[in-house]
Chain A
Amino acid sequence: MNPALTATATPSGPSPAASLRAGMGHRVRIGEGVIRVFLFLAGALSVATTIGIVVVLGSESLLFFRDPQVSLVEFLTGTRWQPAIGDFGIWPLATSTLITSTIALIVSVPLGLSAAIYLSEYASPRARASLKPILEILAGIPTVVYGYFALTFMTPILRGIFGSDTVQIYNMASGGIVMGIMILPLISSMSEDALNAVPRSLREAAYAVGATRLETALRIVVPAAVSGIVAAFILGMSRALGETMIVAISVGSGPDFTLNPFRGAETITGHIARISGGDLSYNSLDYNSLFALGLVLFLITLTLNLISRRVVARLREVYE
């Protein structure tokens, strides 16, 4: 208890106001200021992190592109990535990144959207309560475990179906499919939020004119929630592009320019992980090239995240 405050209870001392002022003198206010500054610095750290990412990726990339062996045009158009002989064309890495992510979306978009429709339009509260945690558990499993799953479970299945001549041990398909399972919870929960945000009155109106539950869901609710659903797809794409461990384990380790999903290749993230995991000397062209790849990845995922956020924001304006 502040002694100044107890003192005010006895009228014999100096006037209550004066003793209060004495008790809460400058020291307290300086402390408040210091705390405020500290809290601000903590908040500013996250801005510093972003600046750090941009500066680190930017400056190392600059070193990379300044090197006489490298040209920006070759980097953006080349179809061979072989640092050992000075070939730095991003396409072999970019295609496999795009192929694995596309497979992931082909798996997770229909499943995720259907699951979201079921959970928001059909499921009883009890069914929801038991089905949603399962998706949440899937979302909490470390990606290295998914990588193990892709290599030891999905790949043998694919090889069993299509024959082990067509499907290589390391291939893009199994990594992509498992990545789809990984982003399934993200897509279903974001889509479900969007569907739940559609006002009940729209559904009731549809039922009133005789629409079945399916027609209401597909022709009224989904179109009304489309921006939120699209935002979920975009975010899922961004997550798939940046995913590392699944592809590092199951897709392979060699930048190979191929469009065949049953062949091994290497994604941007997989390449960064493999090269930086070995003995890498700083200030080498190899080292700098990783940061150029990182910059490309960062810019793409950032753009997708921003678009997704913008789309969600538009949804909010409509219904609030």
Chain B
Amino acid sequence: MTARHAPLASARFRTDVRARHGRGRIMRRVFLASTVVGLVALMALGYNVVKEAFGLVAVRDTIPPSRLSDRPLEELSKDELVAMLQAHISAAVFQRLESERPFAQRSQQDVLDLVVDRVVEPEIVLSWPLNEALLQRQAIEATLAAEAPDARLEWRSWLSLDFLTRTMSSDPARAGVRTALLGSIWMIAITLVVAFPVGVASAVYLEEYAGRSRIQRIIQTNIDNLAGVPSIIYGMLGLAIFVRALGPLTSGQIFGVSDTNGRTILSAGLTMALLILPVIIINAQEAIRAVPGSLREAAFGLGATRWQAVWSHVLPYALPGILTGTILALSRAIGETAPLIVVGASTFIVSDPSGPFSKFTALPIQIYNWTSRPQDQFRDIAAAAILVLLATLLSLNAAAIVLRNRYSRRMQ
């Protein structure tokens, strides 16, 4: 072979090696860049949401305060404000306010808020996202002067305490996520109550009782496949089973609730429970598998039955792992939207859910609904709702990580 006799450091060999290493360096950068794409996408997503959730708005008062009185409204007495209110709103609305809470009992601040809300009626005519508000202030002021000269420019954070506590409204400036948030909480509570015990029980059965039998294999394969079923299919299952077939139960008819059909929080919670069950089971199985066999044997050695060993030895030891998995599964359920649409979430509800048999809306449904509307301001509150959703998920995940860390410290 001639290659063996050629000197290793021949010129051709050296350029060849240099070229190969050059290619290596280039591709290394390509690989790194691909990995960083994820980071870039994440930042773009965050930027896009934040810039919509905060920004400038042009506000126009239907009746400017200067036309109502020569003094600033804050300085007026309660009686003057009440008189002002009575003069500008219809008698029927005034009556309704009176019956909600008599004016004699209301504070000056309370009446002032009513005057601002009902008489001055500030209305948002234009809005600009944060990036434009910071960088193109002149252009914005020019547009404002051209299109709405009587409006004033204000900073606005669409995400605010009021946003969390206000109910739905067809006016984006007054809409909030209260009903959606409560709906999500109710739904998750039902999901947890159903999916946690059933999921842990299945995992215990598969790991501690079933052995390597045929039944075990069938159930295991089945769970693995269920984890890959698209979530919208679960929605269709929920629609056919919980909403229609079990309608009398999920609508609460057999408990004497009569005004609803099966499209209730209960149906949604049960559907979601089926959806996250495979995730909970798989995580719980892993946690149980990590329990050392010696613990079980020690229990058996003392004469414990299988269940006693599981209940007092295996489960306490595996609990942190099981809880971590459950929290992660729940955070998936909180963000799921498609099954809720199919099961029949309502998009416009103003009353708080009163129990499992209420009609419902949920945070992701609200985001979907607001995103699908053409007006800019609905996009802004959709962004604010996304921030609420992401903050919820982040705190749940932080809880899971804390739990995991504490668990691993105890193991050492």
Q: Which residue from chain A places its CB closest to the CB of B41 in the assembled complex?
A: A181
Q: Specify which chain A residues have a CB less than 8 angstroms from the CB of B403 in the assembled complex.
A: none
Query: Is B338 an interface residue when CB atoms closer than 8 A count as contact?
Result: yes
Chain B 174-202 interface residues, beta-carbon cutoff 8 Å to A = 197-199, 201-202
Query: Is A171 an interface residue when CB atoms closer than 8 A count as contact?
Result: no
Task: Give which listed residue, B20, B27, B229, contacts A53 with CB less than 8 A.
Answer: B229
Are the CB atoms of B31 and A117 closer together than 8 Å? yes
Q: Specify which chain B residues have a CB less than 8 angstroms from the CB of A137 in the assembled complex.
A: 42
Q: How far is the CA of A269 from the CA of B39 in the complex (A)?
A: 28
A-B residue pairs in contact (CB < 8 Å), sample of 22: A40-B209, A52-B237, A53-B237, A56-B240, A56-B241, A114-B31, A114-B34, A114-B35, A122-B32, A140-B332, A142-B335, A144-B364, A145-B386, A212-B20, A276-B344, A277-B347, A282-B244, A291-B236, A294-B236, A301-B228, A302-B229, A306-B225
Are the CB atoms of B202 and A60 closer together than 8 Å? no
Among the stretches A81-89, A148-156, A196-204, A257-265, the one at the interface with B is A148-156
Are the CB atoms of A245 and B368 closer together than 8 Å? yes
Query: Is A10 an interface residue when CB atoms closer than 8 A count as contact?
Result: no
Q: Specify which chain B residues have a CB less than 8 angstroms from the CB of A46 in the assembled complex.
A: 202, 219, 222-223, 226, 277-278, 281
Q: How far is the CA of A298 from the CA of B236 in the complex (A)?
A: 11
Q: Specify which chain B residues have a CB less than 8 angstroms from the CB of A146 in the assembled complex.
A: 45
- Give the shortest distance, in Å, between B8 (CB) and chain A (any CB): 10
Query: Is A118 an interface residue when CB atoms closer than 8 A count as contact?
Result: yes
Taking each of B21, B205, B305, which has the highest tally of chain A beta carbons within 10 Å of its own beta carbon?
Answer: B205
Q: How far is the CA of A85 from the CA of B228 in the complex (A)?
A: 35
Q: A45-B198, A56-B237, A152-B48 are in contact. List 11 more A-B contacts (CB 8 A).
A: A31-B307, A43-B201, A49-B226, A50-B225, A52-B237, A56-B240, A56-B241, A144-B364, A153-B45, A212-B21, A294-B236
Q: How far is the CA of A272 from the CA of B237 in the complex (A)?
A: 13
Are the CB atoms of A50 and B222 closer together than 8 Å? yes
Q: How far is the CA of A181 from the CA of B42 in the complex (A)?
A: 9
- Give the shortest distance, in Å, between A212 (CB) and chain B (any CB): 5
Knowing A39-B204, A39-B205, A111-B37 touch, does A143 contact B331 (C-beta < 8 A)? no
Are the CB atoms of B367 and A145 closer together than 8 Å? yes
Query: Is A72 an interface residue when CB atoms closer than 8 A count as contact?
Result: no
Q: Specify which chain B residues have a CB less than 8 angstroms from the CB of A47 in the assembled complex.
A: 218-219, 222
0 or 1 for each of A25-62: is its CB under 8 Å from B? (1 = yes): 00011011001101110111111011011001100100
- Give the shortest distance, in Å, between B275 (CB) and chain A (any CB): 9
Query: Is A167 an interface residue when CB atoms closer than 8 A count as contact?
Result: no
Q: Specify which chain B residues have a CB less than 8 angstroms from the CB of A269 in the assembled complex.
A: 230, 232, 338
Knowing A141-B390, A273-B341 touch, does A184 contact B209 (C-beta < 8 A)? no
Q: How far is the CA of A56 from the CA of B39 in the complex (A)?
A: 41
Chain B 226-284 interface residues, beta-carbon cutoff 8 Å to A = 226, 228-237, 239-241, 244, 274, 277-278, 281
Q: How far is the CA of A291 from the CA of B342 in the complex (A)?
A: 11
Q: Which residue from chain B places its CB closest to the CB of A277 in the assembled complex?
A: B341
Are the CB atoms of A143 and B335 closer together than 8 Å? yes
Q: How far is the CA of A40 from the CA of B201 in the complex (A)?
A: 8
Q: Specify which chain A residues have a CB less than 8 angstroms from the CB of B342 in the assembled complex.
A: 272-273, 276-277
Q: Specify which chain A residues have a CB less than 8 angstroms from the CB of B224 in the assembled complex.
A: 309
In the A-B complex, the 6 residue pairs with the closest CB atoms: A242-B230, A142-B335, A114-B34, A42-B201, A118-B31, A244-B338
Task: Give which listed residue, A38, A39, A138, A276, contacts B42 with CB less than 8 A.
Answer: A138
Q: Specify which chain B residues have a CB less than 8 angstroms from the CB of A49 in the assembled complex.
A: 226, 237, 274, 277
Q: Specify which chain A residues have a CB less than 8 angstroms from the CB of B24 in the assembled complex.
A: 212-215
Q: How far is the CA of A49 from the CA of B242 in the complex (A)?
A: 12
Knowing A138-B42, A242-B233, A305-B225 touch, does A148 contact B382 (C-beta < 8 A)? yes
Knowing A49-B277, A142-B336 touch, does A42 contact B198 (C-beta < 8 A)? yes
Query: Is B165 an interface residue when CB atoms closer than 8 A count as contact?
Result: no
- Give the shortest distance, in Å, between B228 (CB) and chain A (any CB): 4
Query: Is A285 an interface residue when CB atoms closer than 8 A count as contact?
Result: no
Q: Which residue from chain A places its CB closest to the CB of B311 in the assembled complex?
A: A35
Chain A 226-280 interface residues, beta-carbon cutoff 8 Å to B = 235, 238-239, 241-245, 248-249, 269, 272-273, 276-277
Q: How far is the CA of A40 from the CA of B235 in the complex (A)?
A: 26
Q: Which residue from chain A places its CB closest to the CB of B26 in the assembled complex?
A: A214
Query: Is A131 an interface residue when CB atoms closer than 8 A count as contact?
Result: yes
- Give the shortest distance, in Å, between A176 (CB) and chain B (any CB): 14
Are the CB atoms of B305 and A148 closer together than 8 Å? no
Query: Is B44 an interface residue when CB atoms closer than 8 A count as contact?
Result: yes
Query: Is A115 an interface residue when CB atoms closer than 8 A count as contact?
Result: yes
Knowing A273-B342, A301-B228 touch, does A110 contact B34 (C-beta < 8 A)? yes
Q: Specify which chain B residues have a CB less than 8 angstroms from the CB of A214 in the assembled complex.
A: 20, 23-24, 27-28
0 or 1 for each of B297-321: is its CB under 8 Å from A? (1 = yes): 0000001011100000000000000
Q: Which residue from chain B places its CB closest to the CB of A215 in the assembled complex?
A: B20
Query: Is A119 an interface residue when CB atoms closer than 8 A count as contact?
Result: yes
Q: Which residue from chain B places its CB closest to the CB of A212 in the assembled complex?
A: B24
Q: Specify which chain A residues have a CB less than 8 angstroms from the CB of B120 in the assembled complex.
A: none
Task: Give which listed residue, B235, B244, B382, contacts A276 with CB less than 8 A.
Answer: B235
Query: Is B351 an interface residue when CB atoms closer than 8 A count as contact?
Result: no
Are the CB atoms of B226 and A111 closer together than 8 Å? no
Task: Give which listed residue, A53, A123, A147, contacts B368 with CB less than 8 A.
Answer: A147
Are the CB atoms of A152 and B32 closer together than 8 Å? no
Are the CB atoms of A141 and B367 closer together than 8 Å? no
Are the CB atoms of B52 and A43 closer together than 8 Å? no
Query: Is A290 an interface residue when CB atoms closer than 8 A count as contact?
Result: yes
Query: Is B140 an interface residue when CB atoms closer than 8 A count as contact?
Result: no
Query: Is B337 an interface residue when CB atoms closer than 8 A count as contact?
Result: yes
Are the CB atoms of A149 and B368 closer together than 8 Å? no
0 or 1 for each of B28-62: is its CB under 8 Å from A? (1 = yes): 10111111111101101100110010000000000
Are the CB atoms of A294 and B233 closer together than 8 Å? yes
Query: Is A175 an interface residue when CB atoms closer than 8 A count as contact?
Result: no
Q: Specify which chain B residues have a CB less than 8 angstroms from the CB of A122 in the assembled complex.
A: 28, 31-32
Q: Specify which chain B residues have a CB less than 8 angstroms from the CB of A56 in the assembled complex.
A: 236-237, 240-241
